[in-house]
Amino acid sequence: MKFGVVRFPGSCDDVDALTAAERVGEAIMLWHAERELHGVDAVIVPGGFSYGDYLRAGAIARFAPVMEEVAEFAADGGLVLGICNGFQVLCEAGLLPGALLPNVSLRFVCRQVELQVVDAGSAFTAACEPGERLSIPVKHTTGRYYSPRPVRVLLRYAPGENPNGSQDDIAGVCNERGNVFGLMPHPEHAVDPLTGSTDGLKIFESMRAQLGDRVAV
Amino acid sequence: MRARVLVRPKAGILDPQGQAVERALPALGFVGVRNVHVGRLIELDVDDPARLPEMCERLLANPLIEEYEILTAAQSAAAGDRPR
């Protein structure tokens, strides 16, 4: 299967996302100004500071030409993963419910956090056990998830681990249909023992397992 | 027409910036200050001010977490305050 990683001006985790995806399949970069997904089987909207985070994080990126294609891809049931800034972009685009607010601490947090898999029945978490703990880093200033309505939560910060004050310790949510997932932690930074954890690979492996069987590699 | 859009955190949503400012003022001797909220100001020239609400809904504010207030030059002048 082939992953596509969207690169905006200001993306900075695009190469890590590409490298992580390449551990489980093929991966190519997608350019923000192109209305073209080049036949990828799954889309990753990576972390960073797209368009400088001007106005609000993700507010400008959602209008990028490539996002029209991503929205259409998601509407057709395609798997879309948004990481950190990518999560913010997907919320601003209305592909995921809720919004990300500044951390309660008003500080940039950059550290390893423990997550709990609260829903292992999704296309993004099927490689995990229910209740399994994952060690994955966060690094953000605007990660306090908020939604006025109930949402489908896939990952929570483990007790005492919430780095940003998010509602109900929410770390990652998916849409009702289950094909769009956003999370603040960075699974693409936890794919090699050299950096302390390979737990992030499970997200990419889950996607691969969901698609791999029916897509020729 | 010159317009100003004031964007602030929606009531009921925790505003740590406002809280930090509210705590800092008494430290400087400014007592009796409450309900501080920090938002942002967007100034713009628009041909059709009737489209401002739509601009706010779709881009300038995120209605899920923010509320906005539109001030046009006429309103501001009436309040003795002229946008530059």
Domain count, chain A: 1
* List of chain B residues whose C-beta atoms are within 8 Å of the C-beta of residue A56: 62
A55 near B CB under 8 A: yes
**Strand A152-157, strand A170-174: pairing:** antiparallel
- Domain enclosing residue A13, as ranges: 2-212
Residue A217 lies in a domain: no
Q: Complex ipTM, two decimals?
A: 0.85
- Token pair for residue A26? 């093929």
Using DSSP, state whether A148 is helix, strand or coil: coil
Domain ranges across chain B? 2-78
CA neighbor of A169 nearest in space, from A88, A99, A97, A115: A115
CA-based nearest residue in chain A for residue B14? A104
The CATH number linked to A129 is 3.40.50.880
CA-based nearest residue in chain A for residue B20? A106
* List of chain B residues whose C-beta atoms are within 8 Å of the C-beta of residue A59: 59, 62
Q: Determine how many CB atoms are found less than 10 A away from the CB of residue A177.
A: 10
- Cβ distance B62 to A56 less than 8 Å, yes or no, reads yes
- Cβ distance B62 to A98 less than 8 Å, yes or no, reads no
- Cβ distance B60 to A55 less than 8 Å, yes or no, reads yes
CA neighbor of A20 nearest in space, from A195, A159, A168, A157: A195
Q: Determine how many CB atoms are found less than 10 A away from the CB of residue B2.
A: 17
* Nearest CA distance, B17 vs chain A (angstrom): 7
* pLDDT digit string (tens) for chain A, length 217 residues: 999 999 999 999 999 999 999 999 999 999 999 999 999 999 999 999 999 999 999 999 999 999 999 999 999 999 999 999 999 999 999 999 999 999 999 999 999 999 999 999 999 999 999 999 999 999 999 999 999 999 999 999 999 999 999 999 999 999 999 999 999 999 999 999 999 999 999 999 999 999 975 554 4
Residue A72 lies in a domain: yes
- Which of B17, B59, B62 lies nearest to residue A99, judging by beta carbons? B62
- Token pair for residue A21? 């995806």
Residue A103 lies in a domain: yes
Q: What is the helix, strand, coil percentage profile of chain A, to 5?
A: 25, 30, 45
Which CATH architecture fits B2-78?
2-Layer Sandwich (3.30)
**Residues of chain B in Cβ contact (below 8 Å) with chain A:** 13-14, 16-17, 20, 59-60, 62, 64-65
Rounded CA-CA distance B48/B67 in Å is 21
Catalytic residues of A: 84, 186, 188
- The CA distances from residue B2 to A115, A146, B50, B59, in Å, are 49, 34, 13, 18
- Which of B16, B20, B65 lies nearest to residue A146, judging by beta carbons? B65
Determine the average pLDDT of the residues in B8-27.
Answer: 94
Rounded CA-CA distance A118/A154 in Å is 5
- Cβ distance B16 to A99 less than 8 Å, yes or no, reads no
